[in-house]
Amino acid sequence: MTNRQMETLCEIYSLYEKQTENAAIACHKYCSDCCTTSVTMTRLEGLLILDAVSKKIVTDPISELFDNNVPRFKPRLSTNAYVAACRTATDTPVDDETGDQTGICPFLENNACRIYPVRPFGCRCMISTTKCDQNGYAEIDDYTLTLNTVFLQFIEHLDQDGYFGNMGDVLIYLSSGNEKIPETCNVTPNHPIPALMVPPAHRGRIADLINTLDHLIRSS
């Protein structure tokens, strides 16, 4: 883990913001129905959050914020592991352990995010063309879905000797200072990119961006 990797992660976040800054989305400040305990992230993203937390952005202990009893989505596979499984499996792989049980994200306070500048990519890519409280779900166009998947794949590739999991599990594990992943901790190893999940219809449009991401990762 190097400072350069952390800088690269922030550069990737900035690149995503540029890609989506003119998108026609309904998201706005204090709109927070999507701020649940379903957020997933990599170890590197967790380290960025803990660095901010250590500077007293958030004073509550992580273990209290993410109590083990809080229901949360627990992925069985990282994004790249899921992609690899899809390439070889005859059926769609099962990617979670506990279904869609979810609670309110403990970083949410008065409908605002307490860690907004360092929120993980799982929060950044949660955008919708219509207000979620109208339909009860987010609406995302096909190209943005491809964009999000490609960014998730590169972010994991950047931290390929790390791990992936629910934001709460990753933060609890990182805060514990353990060297080895305990069996009770629901995190799963990261993987390098096996292939990028880009449908043929989006390949031309996303090609330059993939080159930029590839360059960023190689220079980190």
Burial bucket for residue 91 (CB in 10 Å: 0-12, 13-18, 19+): exposed
Can you tell me which of 23, 31, 145, 209 binds ligand SF4, judged by CB under 6 A?
A: 31
Token digits for 59?
């004073």
At position 88, the amino acid (one-letter code) is: T
Can you tell me which of 23, 108, 196, 209 binds ligand SF4, judged by CB under 6 A?
A: 108
When asked if residue 139 is in the footprint of ligand SF4 (CB under 6 A), the reply is no
Cβ closer to ligand SF4: 22 or 92?
A: 22
Reduce the DSSP state of residue 96 to 3 states and report it: strand
Contact, 189 vs 163, CB < 8 A? Answer: yes
At position 216, the amino acid (one-letter code) is: L
H helical segments located in the chain: 3-20, 43-54, 62-65, 79-88, 121-124, 132-135, 142-158, 167-176, 203-218
- Positions 189 through 208 that interact with ligand SF4 (CB under 6 A): none
Can you tell me which of 6, 47, 81, 105 binds ligand SF4, judged by CB under 6 A?
A: 105
When asked if residue 119 is in the footprint of ligand SF4 (CB under 6 A), the reply is yes
Region from 16-24, 86-94, 125-133, 212-220 binding ligand SF4, contact rule CB under 6 A: 125-133
When asked if residue 40 is in the footprint of ligand SF4 (CB under 6 A), the reply is no
Catalog residues that contact ligand SF4 under the rule CB under 6 A.
26-27, 31, 33-35, 39, 105, 107-108, 113, 115, 119, 123, 126-128, 131-132, 138
